């Protein structure tokens, strides 16, 4: 679907996207594939050229933040240090952008990598190696998504139940604060209490809640968005009371969230998407405020529900009533501050 770009001059820092080459992995997953795998199969090769095409397709994306996704791990290293390869790869992409050959656009200006915090204090050595790999490395994500129904997440995920409450994990988590690093938390809506407990236990640690807390409309949760909305809203409001937590406004076009349920076949325009997402986005902004909220593309995963230009048009429709200062925060300022790249706004 093609749309005229809304507010094309508004600066955007996209704080959440991936880069990967999943083509060698897809044959290992049985048919029929889980909806998540179907969603990303069309973007199984998503590297600099694809990112460039999307982010420069009409909106004024001035910089991006890479989010770990298990891509390009270094097979020559031991298991704990393999994620360093991902940061090294992404740093090369960032260097392409920093060359100036593509204008002022700065892809991967900040890099969020991965370290297994279940290593406890030994995770500090991995964090040090990640920092040494790139001055753009700013933090990690150790995803904690789990559900009793294995069909909800499908083959690629399944963290241990209660990961964020685990003692060894928290010992490793404490290493982040010693190095001034951020933490991105991805869980599913029924697990939001784990994020709340973690944020209260580490009140000085910056935590970013991904994907509006991932409301579910898949597998056994299909058709229950309305039924669970009040529970989701209460959890988000409780987490927002922790001043160390920021929220990412997006991810709702993922297959997990099912907004729309039909995925890419639906062909939704930005007006329809904004209507689907409005209760969730409005609740998050009201709870956290514009200075602790940031719109995200979650690309290419959110291709399930929207093209890149349509996705950001939907966000701009949702922010239509915000002041100019609030828009600057929601679309660029909050992300630049949290991830330490405020220089891209100069």
Split at pLDDT 50, 70, 90, the class of 312 is very high
- CA 169-203-256 angle, to 5 degrees, is 60
Half-sphere exposure of 72 (CA within 13 A, CB side): 20
Determine what percent of the chain is predicted with pLDDT higher than 90.
87
Half-sphere exposure of 138 (CA within 13 A, CB side): 24
Average pLDDT over residues 332-337: 98
Task: Give the span between the Cα atoms of 277 and 274, in whole angstroms.
Answer: 5
Split at pLDDT 50, 70, 90, the class of 253 is very high
Q: Identify which has the larger pLDDT, 273 or 23.
A: 273
- The number of beta carbons lying within 10 Å of the beta carbon of residue 2 is 8
Assigned domain for 2 exists:
no
Q: What is the predicted pLDDT for the residue at 2?
A: 84
Split at pLDDT 50, 70, 90, the class of 23 is confident
In total, the chain counts a number of residues equal to 346
For 37-51, 66-80, 84-98, 304-318, which range has the lowest pLDDT when averaged over its residues? 37-51
**Which structural domain, as residue segments, surrounds residue 341?**
11-345
Q: What is the predicted pLDDT for the residue at 26?
A: 77
Per the CB < 8 A criterion, the answer to whether 294 and 315 are in contact is no
Cα-trace Rg, the chain: 19
Assigned domain for 338 exists:
yes
Assigned domain for 5 exists:
no
Average pLDDT over residues 106-119: 98
Is 68's pLDDT higher than 90? yes
Q: What is the predicted pLDDT for the residue at 1?
A: 67
Q: What is the mean pLDDT of the chain?
A: 95
Q: What is the pLDDT of residues 173-211, one digit of tens each?
A: 999 999 999 999 999 999 999 999 999 999 999 999 999
Instruction: Cite the beta strand spans of 10-101 per DSSP E.
Output: 11-17, 20-21, 45-46, 60-67
Instruction: Cite the beta strand spans of the chain per DSSP E.
Output: 11-17, 20-21, 45-46, 60-67, 106-113, 137-141, 182-185, 207-209, 245-249, 293-295
Q: Give me the number of domains the chain comprises.
A: 1
Partners of 151 in beta bridges: none
Task: Give the span between the Cα atoms of 243 and 204, in whole angstroms.
Answer: 9
Is 70's pLDDT higher than 90? yes
Average pLDDT over residues 271-284: 97
Q: What is the predicted pLDDT for the residue at 127?
A: 98
- The number of beta carbons lying within 10 Å of the beta carbon of residue 185 is 25
Average pLDDT over residues 28-39: 75
Task: Give the span between the Cα atoms of 104 and 63, in whole angstroms.
Answer: 9
Assigned domain for 6 exists:
no
Assigned domain for 122 exists:
yes
Q: Which of 183, 181, 288, 178 is nearest to 243 (CA)?
A: 288
Q: Identify which has the larger pLDDT, 284 or 36.
A: 284
Q: What is the pLDDT of residues 81-103, one digit of tens each?
A: 999 999 999 999 999 999 999 99
Split at pLDDT 50, 70, 90, the class of 38 is confident
> The domain spanning residue 142 has which CATH number?
3.20.20.140
Assigned domain for 1 exists:
no
Assigned domain for 4 exists:
no
Per the CB < 8 A criterion, the answer to whether 121 and 175 are in contact is yes
Average pLDDT over residues 312-316: 98
Q: What is the predicted pLDDT for the residue at 9?
A: 98
Assigned domain for 3 exists:
no
Split at pLDDT 50, 70, 90, the class of 24 is confident
Determine what percent of the chain is predicted with pLDDT higher than 70.
98
């Amino acid at each position: 679907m093609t749309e005229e770009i809304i507010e094309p001059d508004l600066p955007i820092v996209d704080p959440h996207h991936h880069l990967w080459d999943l083509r060698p992995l897809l044959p290992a997953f049985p048919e029929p594939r889980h909806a998540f795998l179907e969603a990303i199969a069309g973007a199984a090769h998503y590297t600099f050229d694809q990112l460039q095409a999307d982010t420069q397709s009409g909106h004024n994306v001035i910089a991006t933040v890479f989010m770990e996704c298990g891509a390009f791990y270094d097979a020559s290293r031991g298991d704990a240090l393999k994620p360093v390869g991902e940061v090294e790869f992404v740093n090369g992409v960032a260097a392409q952008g920093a060359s100036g050959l593509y204008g002022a656009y700065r892809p991967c200006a900040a890099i969020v990598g991965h370290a297994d915090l279940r290593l406890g204090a030994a995770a500090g050595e991995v964090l040090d190696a990640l920092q040494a790999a790139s001055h753009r490395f700013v933090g990690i994500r150790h995803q904690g998504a789990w559900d009793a129904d294995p069909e909800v997440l499908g083959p690629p995920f399944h963290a241990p139940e209660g990961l964020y409450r685990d003692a060894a994990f928290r010992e490793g988590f404490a290493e982040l604060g010693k190095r001034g690093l951020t933490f991105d938390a991805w869980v599913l809506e029924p697990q939001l209490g784990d994020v709340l407990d973690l944020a209260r236990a580490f009140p000085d640690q910056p935590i970013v809640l991904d994907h509006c807390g991932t409301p579910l409309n898949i597998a056994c949760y299909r058709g229950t968005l309305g039924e669970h909305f009040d529970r989701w809203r209460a959890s988000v409001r409780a987490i927002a009371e922790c001043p160390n937590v920021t929220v990412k406004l997006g991810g709702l076009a993922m297959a997990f969230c099912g907004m729309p349920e039909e995925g890419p076949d639906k062909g939704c325009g930005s007006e329809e998407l904004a209507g689907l997402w409005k209760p969730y986005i409005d609740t998050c902004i009201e709870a956290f405020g514009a200075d602790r909220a940031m719109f995200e593309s979650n690309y290419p995963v959110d291709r399930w529900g929207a093209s890149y230009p349509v996705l950001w048009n939907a966000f701009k429709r949702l922010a239509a009533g915000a002041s100019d200062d609030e828009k600057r925060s929601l679309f660029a300022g909050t992300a630049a501050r949290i991830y330490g790249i405020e220089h891209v706004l100069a």
